Structure 1
Amino acid sequence: MELSLSRVHFPVTTLGPGRRLGIWFQGCSIRCPGCISADTWGPGQRRVSIAQLLAQLAPWLAEADGITVSGGEPFDQFPALLALLQGLRHSSPLDILVYSGYSLEYLQPQLRQAEGLIDALISDPFEAHSEQTLALRGSDNQRLNLLTALGHERLACYERPLQTADKALDLMFDENGSVWMAGIPLRDDLLRLHDLLSAQGHKVRTSAHRH
């Protein structure tokens, strides 16, 4: 079993409680207008086996406080997502938070198959015209669904408005010099950063769309 992978990173501190292991799937069929992660829309060229990925993640799992799976759209690769979740649950007691642009109602068949494997789910598509006042969400139409007792214990505290501490992003650096940001930026934050750096003479390319 293989999946199309965008990247993994540890630690991520802006997508759930504690120092988290972040896993980003590559490929998204939803493609919400205004998405800041348009670089994860295409199919990508990095395919890894579930066994290989789990082996890669093992040292970080020993240090992490939780796991966040995003993309891209993880449920577009549901057989691979299910196998990964099963492997993670077998390897670790950590809470697992998954982001999806699909609605909770649409995902019911998949969630029944993954029962007990996802502790919390952020569901529903990003809407650029909606307000952004809630923790862990890019737009207020998105829902935080607590699916297990562990999900309630670890993530119920995020059913609240944004706080000052939420207004943060993690920076990740690749070997080729690319800089990635993890977290939920405020509306147009990345575009303002792009304009600021460009004005200083830097060459900057972001996946955020102007709208």
Structure 2
Amino acid sequence: MDLSLSRVHFPVTTLGPGRRLGIWFQGCSIRCPGCISADTWGPGQRRLSTAQLLDQITPWLDVADGITISGGEPFDQFDALIRLLQGLRRLSQVDILVYSGYSLEHLDDQLRQANGLIDALISDPYDEALSQTMALRGSDNQRLNLLTPLGRARLGDFERLLMTTDKALDLMFDETGSVWMAGIPRRGDLLRLRDLLQDQGHQLQISAHASRRR
């Protein structure tokens, strides 16, 4: 089973508890205005089998405290997502958190098929017009759904308002020299970063801005 992959990174410390393995799917049919990950909307060109991906990430699974799957939209590649989740469960006992722009109700059938494979789900589309006061969420309409006892134990404490310690971003570098951010930026954070870099003679292209022009 092949999937379209955006990137993988370890460690990610801003999308759930502990040092986590982050997996970003490529491709999204929802395309929320203002999305900070608009670079993951298109189909992409990096395709690989779930077996290849599992083989690549196995060394990280030995030391990861948890796994976060985002995108893009993971449920747009549901068959590959299920196959990946099954493989992750075979290889690791850590919690699995999945981000989706679909509502919980829309995913009813898929979640029945994935019963026990996803410990926690952040559901619902990002809405840039709404407040952003809750941990792990980009807008307050998004819901943290705790689906297993492990999910409740590991992520139940995140059903709360943002704290100062939540206001952080991970910086990631890929083999091309591109810089990526992981986490949930506060409104205006990326604009402030762009202005700061421009003041120092650097350029910053933010995919969230490009998404508004599409």
Shorter-chain TM-score tier: over 0.9
Match of 1:45 in 2: 45
1:35-184 aligned at under 5 Å gives the runs 35-184=35-184
Q: Secondary structure at the match of 2:168?
A: coil
* Deviation of the 1:164 alpha carbon: 0.4
* Deviation of the 1:199 alpha carbon: 2.3
* Deviation of the 1:141 alpha carbon: 0.2
Would you say the 8 A contact 1:190–1:208 is kept in 2?
no
Identity in percent: 77
TM-score (norm 1): 0.98
Q: Secondary structure at the match of 1:86?
A: helix
What letter matches 2:32 in structure 1? C
> 1-side partners of 2:20 and 2:130: how far apart?
28
Choose 36-45 or 174-183, whichever is displaced more. 174-183
* Deviation of the 1:177 alpha carbon: 1.5
* Deviation of the 1:43 alpha carbon: 0.3
TM-score (norm 2): 0.97
Cα offsets for 1:36-80 (capped at 9, x unmatched): 000000000000100000000100000000000000000000000
> 1-side partners of 2:100 and 2:140: how far apart?
14
User: Which ranges of structure 2 fall in alignment gaps of 5 or more residues?
Assistant: none
> 1-side partners of 2:191 and 2:208: how far apart?
7
> 2-side partners of 1:27 and 1:88: how far apart?
21
Q: How many corresponding residue pairs?
A: 211
> 2-side partners of 1:125 and 1:79: how far apart?
21
Q: Secondary structure at the match of 2:48?
A: strand
